[in-house]
Amino acid sequence: MLIFVLIMGSVLLFVSFWRGRRARERRHRQCSRLRAWAASHDALDPVVQQWIARLSTDEIEVLYTLLNGYCASLQWQLDWLFAPQIKKAPELQAVLEESIRIYARMLLLSLQMELDVLAYQSYLEFEKRPAARKQRPLVNKLYAKIDRSALTPPPTRALHRLAHKKVTPKAQVAAIRKAFAEDPVKTMQFLKEILADDVLNTVTDVRREQGSLGLTLAPNSA
């Protein structure tokens, strides 16, 4: 009885492994077809074509999953895009291709706006609780940029420098709010630069820690 159970367990494990391998191979073929279609589809925006061409294996699988989910929500199948039979339904083919083109472009734009979204969220948090302790590092950095750019009032800035006085947190918050009111584009750019530097420093620290452990991070696919 024990031998039978062991044999059945081994068979089930083999079947599970085989099915998983078949599924992975099928997904790999689907992703390859998506990449090939994007490279040869002239109507696709060149920037989107370049983006898809540079995606790693894991990233193209994520893109395929997103596009496939979008098609499924419309009762379509993404694989129709790669099937020669789709030419028998030219109107559906045209709509499917246009929909995928627009959706892929939207996904790329959302990724490109990631820092803008993070900056806007940080701005909203600042406006909600400007004096919060966790806001102090950001307030200090943003005020320093604003001060160097001469967005703070000249007399106040000169007096503080001559007197070697440290600007109070309240004055920093007031200066930041004034900068956002008078030049929101430039001030938001300062905020994005600070956040980008923070992200870069975090990545550098992680890579340093990984290196100390004898590990390496996969390079960016950009």
Last residue of a domain, one of 112, 146, 170: 112
Structural domain total, the chain: 2
Say if 34 falls within a structural domain: no
Q: Do 125 and 139 sit in the same domain of this protein?
A: yes
Last residue of a domain, one of 95, 112, 129: 112
Q: Do 48 and 98 sit in the same domain of this protein?
A: yes
Q: Do 57 and 132 sit in the same domain of this protein?
A: no
pLDDT digits (tens, 9 = 90+) for 74-95: 999 999 999 999 999 999 999 9
Average of per-residue pLDDT across 116-124: 94
Say if 175 falls within a structural domain: yes
Q: Are 195 and 145 in contact (CB under 8 A)?
A: no
Say if 31 falls within a structural domain: no
Name which residue leads in pLDDT, 17 or 61: 61
Q: Do 196 and 126 sit in the same domain of this protein?
A: yes
Q: Do 156 and 203 sit in the same domain of this protein?
A: yes
Question: Which DSSP symbol is given to 166?
Answer: P
Q: Do 85 and 170 sit in the same domain of this protein?
A: no
Q: Do 163 and 191 sit in the same domain of this protein?
A: yes
CA distance 128 to 60: 39
**What pTM value is reported for the model?**
0.62
CA distance 202 to 73: 37
Q: Do 135 and 106 sit in the same domain of this protein?
A: no
Query: Residue 199: what pLDDT?
Result: 77
Amino acid identity of residue 64, one-letter, is Y
Query: Residue 202: what pLDDT?
Result: 66
Q: Do 87 and 164 sit in the same domain of this protein?
A: no
Say if 20 falls within a structural domain: no
Last residue of a domain, one of 61, 91, 112: 112
pLDDT digits (tens, 9 = 90+) for 161-201: 544 568 899 999 999 999 999 999 999 999 999 999 887 77
CA distances from 69 to 39, 74, 100, 155 (A): 21, 9, 11, 58
Q: Do 129 and 187 sit in the same domain of this protein?
A: yes
List the domain range (segments joined by +) for residue 202: 115-212
